[in-house]
Structure 1
Amino acid sequence: MSRNRKAGTVTILPNLSIIDIAEEGKGVAKADELVVFVDKAVPGDIVDVKIVKKKKNFAEAVIETLHTASDMRTDPFCEHFGTCGGCKWQHMQYDAQLHFKQKNVEAALQRLAKVDTSSMEPILGSAENKYYRNKLEYTFSNKRWLNAQDMTDREDLEMNALGFHVPLRFDKILDIQHCYLQAEPSNKLRNEVRAYALKNELSFYDLRNHEGSLRNLIIRTSSTGEVMVVVVFAYAEPAQVNGLMEHLKVSFPEITSLLYILNQKKNDTIFDQDVITYAGRDYIFEEMNGLKFKIGAKSFYQTNSLQAHELYKITKEFAGFKGDELVYDLYTGAGTIANFIAGSVKQVIGVEYVPTAIEDAKFNSELNGIENTVFYAGDMKDILTTDFIAAHGKPDVVITDPPRAGMHTDVVERLLEMEAEKIVYVSCNAATQARDLALLKEKYEVSRIKPVDMFPHTQHVENVVLLNLIK
């Protein structure tokens, strides 16, 4: 390796080859024994880098000079790339993104669970890699993130912003002009809300002092063309609330569900808040595979509707239903998977921690005339007792789709006790999935693996694993 040179107190490492990409979207290089994470670098790049942080065995760096651009590199499509915390891989071609997502899943399963991945199936890419989300949540702030141009020209600078949090800065919001994650009318709605608020002098929330009128904006859309808008106010006068809501009602007649919330807590969660309907219904409908799903302001639904359908089809295929199975659907959420597979099995028992999600699941079964589903709300490790299994029967198939933290060890132990013939494990975190698979290897063997890309231009990936009981 060429000798390092220093510009003042700044260390420059020359001619580094980027050999991999990390989950945070940073390229990975090696300089002797030092692992270097390089912001906005792509595997195949050859670069000089400037060290910005150094630890014993690794360093973080930025590109000083790009000598050779990788064949995988492409121009970012969003003006906010590099500042916004989303879409961190958009400077890498989509086929390359899929390659590295597959590689990351494979590495996690091999390293943490010692799973043989030689027969792992190719990752399923998303047919749409822009405007694929059905839900976005924006934040109002009176402390806009300032770029370099802003810092040099601060006269009459607008400090209010409506957009996304800047990574690692809870009190700084990047003002978003155009977001490529959600289709119209999402951008038009957000920009009109900002324009109205500025014109009518509605105060934007102060995230440090907890004051201001406008706090959050949530926009949900569906494949059926329905639109939900939720405006979250903090310390707003009734006239301010009515003024903005009436403006949205008149300006956007396509809004199906126009709602608002008054949240004066010190956190943004709305699950313990009352949702007030200003116009239309308090929910919208989504459709999948001939089924309708009711979605309220607090409902959970996969944010990539089209790819969720593909994910559930793979889950169903892995299960290989014959029609007479009793299925336990763990972490059922709003019962989407349970209702999706209900027509192919004898009965589905869904379990979920969030009571409101279970109410949605029951409603969705009734809405679709499904009578062979039963849902329970409560902590998974507390519900899945020996008495529960004795009362409802030993499952033939278990489908589990836990949060990123994976399954509690008590749940894994209960699965080992139940000895269902098959477990289909759907996960959004290959590392915690691998941890659980290592525990399940006591009685199960992995027979199929297929990653599914739900979130293009990010490091996130879903993975579906089929486990069969060892005879």
Structure 2
Amino acid sequence: MECSYFGKCGSCTLYRLNYEDQIISKKEAITTLFKSLYQGSFDFFPSQDSHYRARAEFRLWKEGDTLSYAMGAADKKSTLCIDACPKVDLKIAALMPELLKAIESSSILREKIFSIEFLCTSEHLLVTLLYHKPLHVAWDEEAKILEQRFGIGIIGRSRGVKRVLSRDFAEECLDVAGRTYRYRVFEGGFSQPNRAINRAMIAWVLEQMSECEDLLELYCGYGNFTIPLASKFQKVLATEISKTSIKSALINCELNDVHTISFLRMSAEELTSALNHERTFNRLAHLDLDAYRFSHVFVDPPRSGMDEKSLAFISQFEHIIYISCNPQTLKRDLEILALRYEIKRFALFDQFPNTEHLESGVILKRRSIL
């Protein structure tokens, strides 16, 4: 990837290395980090090194009536104005300069705007404009002109207000292992930023599945992994704390004609208490938890990893599938799980080229007790 802002923008920190050398560097770093826990080989899934981000957010910098996209500078103390970003999806990259000019030309749209968020899928491009002012009907009329001109969806946000002009979601189609999966991703909910790597992650997990009964999933999001995995299990029980993600997950089941998943809006800690028969919840009154025979548990926690109680809880299952976005907290959690489990497969997914970030996938099997 070539970028005129390398060394000035604080986002891409590995710009001095070509992509092949970045891969070598990341493999070496992970091998060193986990050498006390795993000596096997790593499955590595590279990304295209440019135009890979389907989700992006930019601050806006204003000089008079002129607007610029802005990023944090490499010195971590200042702001850098940019006119392009080669990391973002080609559809976002093409839209960015024209959209900014259109916003600049409207006093209503440019007044007190401070950020723009982009969400790009195979089917839609959704743009959220964020403001430090109330939004009213006059804003709607101006924003609708942009929707029609660019063929995009636009949402306006200010404190406590969300104005949706046409839709507040984008639909995605992913071809994985010979099947097409459809997802509806709502604005404000989490979605995987690198679509090609997301496909690779789902396919890799599916390849590891055999001799499956029921699946328990914690931190399920909008069903990104849940729905494809349902084809490998008898029943699936999946939880997520985000109301937006659960709304999306339920719709995605219908879109994919999947009816063996029960989605619950609960934290991992709450479900752990319920399955351990420590607490009862009205949200679970319609489910017979004792009817599940979980052979696998799937976790995809936030960067902070898993809490001690949840780690102890998942340690009762024969197989664990752990997807991690933070190698440091993954190592911490694996140091606990390795007391009872053997790491069978370890994969690395390069979601963000030109940065130190690396996603991981680990398959664990409980050790036999002699």
TM-score by length of 1: 0.69
**Deviation digits for residues 187-228 of structure 1 (CA, Å, limit 9, x no counterpart):** 343323332343444686xxxxxxx6212211111123x211
Residue 117 (structure 2) pairs with residue 218 (structure 1): yes
Residues 123, 185 of structure 1: alpha-carbon distance in 2 compared, 3 angstrom cutoff: closer
- Report the counterpart of residue 434 of structure 1 in structure 2: 331
**What displacement does 1:371 show?**
0.4
Equivalent residue in structure 2 for 1:116, among 35, 38, 47: 38
Q: Distance in 2 between matches of 1:183 and 1:452?
A: 18
- Report the counterpart of residue 230 of structure 1 in structure 2: 128
Count how many residue pairs are aligned between Structure 1 and Structure 2: 353
Secondary structure at the counterpart of residue 165 of structure 2: strand
- Report the counterpart of residue 22 of structure 2 in structure 1: 97
Residue 210 (structure 2) pairs with residue 321 (structure 1): yes
- Report the counterpart of residue 277 of structure 1 in structure 2: 164
**What displacement does 1:168 show?**
6.6
Secondary structure at the counterpart of residue 138 of structure 1: strand
Q: Which amino acid in structure 2 is aligned with residue 332 of structure 1?
A: C
Residue 88 (structure 2) pairs with residue 182 (structure 1): yes
Secondary structure at the counterpart of residue 321 of structure 2: strand
- Report the counterpart of residue 286 of structure 1 in structure 2: 172
Answer 1 or 2: higher relative contact order, Cα 8 Å, separation at least 6: 2
Residue 232 (structure 2) pairs with residue 347 (structure 1): no
**Deviation digits for residues 402-454 of structure 1 (CA, Å, limit 9, x no counterpart):** 111111111101112x2x11111111111111110111122111122121111
- Report the counterpart of residue 285 of structure 2 in structure 1: none
Secondary structure at the counterpart of residue 139 of structure 2: helix
Q: Distance in 2 between matches of 1:123 and 1:444?
A: 22
**What displacement does 1:159 show?**
7.3
Pick which of 439-448 and 367-376 moved more. 439-448
8 A contact 1:120–1:449 mirrored in 2: yes
Secondary structure at the counterpart of residue 396 of structure 1: strand
Q: Distance in 1 between matches of 2:34 and 2:345?
A: 12
Q: Distance in 2 between matches of 1:449 and 1:432?
A: 15
Q: Which amino acid in structure 1 is aligned with residue 170 of structure 2?
A: I
**What displacement does 1:360 show?**
1.1
Q: Which runs of 5+ in 1 are unaligned?
A: 1-75, 144-156, 205-211, 265-272
**Deviation digits for residues 305-354 of structure 1 (CA, Å, limit 9, x no counterpart):** 11101011112222x224x5111111111111010111121111111121
Matches within 5 A, 1:159-170: 160-166=67-73
Residue 284 (structure 2) pairs with residue 364 (structure 1): no
8 A contact 1:455–1:461 mirrored in 2: yes
Equivalent residue in structure 2 for 1:397, among 293, 296, 316: 296
Secondary structure at the counterpart of residue 263 of structure 2: strand
Q: Which amino acid in structure 1 is aligned with residue 168 of structure 2?
A: D
Matches within 5 A, 1:44-59: none
- Report the counterpart of residue 308 of structure 2 in structure 1: 409
- Report the counterpart of residue 68 of structure 1 in structure 2: none
Equivalent residue in structure 1 for 2:139, among 241, 248, 253: 241
Give the fraction of aligned pairs with identical amino acids, expressed as a percent: 21
**What displacement does 1:394 show?**
4.5
Q: Distance in 2 between matches of 1:338 and 1:315?
A: 11
Which of the two has higher C-alpha Rg? Answer: 1
**What displacement does 1:81 show?**
1.2
- Report the counterpart of residue 138 of structure 1 in structure 2: 58
Secondary structure at the counterpart of residue 335 of structure 1: coil
**What displacement does 1:98 show?**
0.9
Structure with the larger helix share: 2
Residues 124, 197 of structure 1: alpha-carbon distance in 2 compared, 3 angstrom cutoff: closer
Residues 336, 443 of structure 1: alpha-carbon distance in 2 compared, 3 angstrom cutoff: same
